[in-house]
Structure 1
Amino acid sequence: MSTDFQRAREALGARLRELRTEAHLTHRQLAANLGWAHSKISKLETGKQTASIADLEAWVDATGALEALPELKNSLRRLETHYRSWRRQLAGGHKAVQEAALVEEQQAQTIRVYETSVVPGIFQTPDYARHLFTHSARLRRSPRDVEDAVRARMRRQDALYQPGQKYRVIIWEAALYAMIGGPEVMAGQLDRLGGIIGLSSVSLGVLPFSAALDLTPKHGFWIHDERNVVVENLSAEMELKDSEDIALYLRLWDYYEQVAVHGPAAHRAIARARHTLGS
């Protein structure tokens, strides 16, 4: 269980305890009023058990604090988002993060990916990945285990050649022109990306600049089956498990897939970007 998740659960428990004490109820009195075991009250208040919506509704009813229910529901919803700060994740370097991603991906049969500004790690060349890891470590002042991280990322790519997994990937065309590592690195990366098209385990689409969009490109995200969504920002990685959140991202991914170009058209989009780099 992540430290961030546990702290959020403890914060919710502290708020429940506050409502109980404001109502001048002891553990045993509240448990008796609700028909619960005394131990459940203690576990909820100390963050050792996660409350359900029904638990929260019963709690505010028993403590006469109905006005607190929306706040408590929002707190519970945030619990379903595992907020993993990069500062904590990268305390030991990038290699451990790559190994954790490998475990996550091995547990999924279908992985949907949408990226706006970077080639997904599962398709990256060693040089492209090396440049990203080097400058990420510099920015975040984390341990520089760059070569170990590159090797771990390359091991993730073994799944592309194994039966049983499917990668459905959409890349905004801007990612093909972002000059990561300079022309030589990008040339190798685009050549690699063009070669990915045709693999039986991969469906690769490009969201072109010319597409008429009803929705903006937004941020990148990964969906593992229909089990969770992983979203990154500069300071943290968020894992969304709420069913409504997952459904929202699935609808957005489906929209991007409809607008994106695939097959030969995707290959031509990659070739155009490659051509701008010359020989």
Structure 2
Amino acid sequence: MSAAVFYESSRHEAYQLPAGILALAVHGAFFALLYFGFAWQTQPDAAMSVELWDSLPESVNAPLEVPLVEEVVQPAQPEKIAQPDIAQPEPNIAQAEPKVEQPEPKIAQPEPDIALPAEKKIEVKPVKKKPAKKADAKPVARKPVEQQAVEQDQDARIAQQQADLERAEQAAARGRLVNEYKAKIQNKITRNIVMPPGVSDDALAVFRVTLLPGGSILSAVKQKSSGNAAYDNAVERAIIKSDPLPLPPDPAMFKDFRILELKFQPRKAKE
């Protein structure tokens, strides 16, 4: 019995010690909370009362000295206003520029309207003259055409003149060549004439000589007698003896020598 009682008593004591410690800790914490809570509640009241008494004289002095100076010093606000104003007009100008580009043709249209009322009496007359100017412009456009036609005519005339000059030069050269070879033919026949006696120096015999290409004589026909049969016969014999007669080397000139009318005089033969 004693052992069991001792065991139970010791067991009961073992549980009582921690319970007491726990109770003391709980009470201590409770009192600490009460103390600090009261101190926390009382401290702000004292601080607020002290600050109110201190701030009254300071607040009276502060508005007298500071607010006037601080309000005057605050021109920073216009600077802030100027900065956004400068930043904003830049996009506004950029937007206005394309808008101005669109109305430019619209502004260009009323400008003549403004000029018209300013000079109604003066400008009404030129308005009527404008169609006249257009009518004048047409002949102005035609003038170059006429000038071109005139220039073309002048060019054609110049070309024609040049061509005529060339043909004249060629004809002159051809005539000189024809005369040169006719003189050669005349001289060849004259050298072959055997002059009969008693022929007058003024005697003139005319023969028509037909030639073949190469200068061969096809025929020699007397067109006019000299009045001296002996002289006429002597000339005819000289023509036949002179066969072939000299011709230019150009075959195209043969047409100028196909038929020749040759005149013979004793006086010329002596010369």
Q: Same fold (TM over 0.5)?
A: no
TM-score between the two structures when normalised by the length of structure 1: 0.23
In terms of fraction of residues, the more helix-rich structure is: 2
TM-score between the two structures when normalised by the length of structure 2: 0.24
In terms of fraction of residues, the more strand-rich structure is: 1
Higher relative contact order (CA 8 A, sep 6+): 1
Larger radius of gyration between Structure 1 and Structure 2: 2
